Chains A and B, each alone.
Chain A
């Protein structure tokens, strides 16, 4: 199993550009989520999905879109990048949607918006 994979590892964007951060898992996990990590702020939940076709907002959803067309993939779209979106982005998945399930994190994507 590859676990949770994220691409790209690094990305530099100009303000106003759009892009998609890819996330895939091969563990047949029901629950997937996106977090961003900023210095001094820990990780904050952007969006999450409890299954294919179901998504919901987390703590900091503005400026991001997600979709879940398959169990395996959960891409995060930046519609019009802003410098405030400079961050490290982590995708995570867990077997079930209940809060006792351990979440497995991907290696992260470091995004810089100029």
Chain B
């Protein structure tokens, strides 16, 4: 069975702190994709990143970085120098079926609150 676990339900930080959101996944597929989505208070879902199972390179985009480790089945997301605008619910998701279909399995989300 496929599963995504985001153990951190809520995180509160003060602006400019660094914060890491954890994501652990389970799958038997050898080909799969991992995603992070942001859901700000307005409610829409914003795509942040996609990573395939064959690419373990870490990725950095501005203040955002992602660490993918197949050995621990984790795909963690770090925000450096957090800002109030980063306050949102963040979802990690897994797309499996061996790559056959685009069915996403979401974690339960982590609510990040950045205090000024």
Contact assessment for A99 and B101 in the assembled complex, using a CB-CB cutoff below 8 Å: yes
Contact assessment for A99 and B108 in the assembled complex, using a CB-CB cutoff below 8 Å: no
Given contacts A42-B91, A43-B91, contact A103 B43 (CB under 8 A): no
List CB contacts (< 8 Å) of B57-116 with chain A.
91, 93, 95-97, 99-109
B50 at the A interface (CB under 8 A): yes
Contact assessment for B91 and A99 in the assembled complex, using a CB-CB cutoff below 8 Å: no
A103 to B50, CA, bound (A): 10
Given contacts A41-B108, A42-B107, A43-B104, contact A88 B43 (CB under 8 A): yes
Number of interface residues of A (CB under 8 A): 28
Taking CB atoms, residues of chain B closer than 8 Å to A64 are: none
Given contacts A88-B43, A102-B47, A102-B50, contact A97 B101 (CB under 8 A): yes
The 10 closest A-B pairs by CB, nearest first: A99-B95, A42-B106, A105-B45, A43-B106, A42-B108, A99-B99, A99-B33, A31-B102, A99-B102, A100-B33
Can you list 5 A-B pairs with a CB-CB distance of less than 8 A? A48-B101, A92-B45, A100-B99, A103-B102, A103-B104
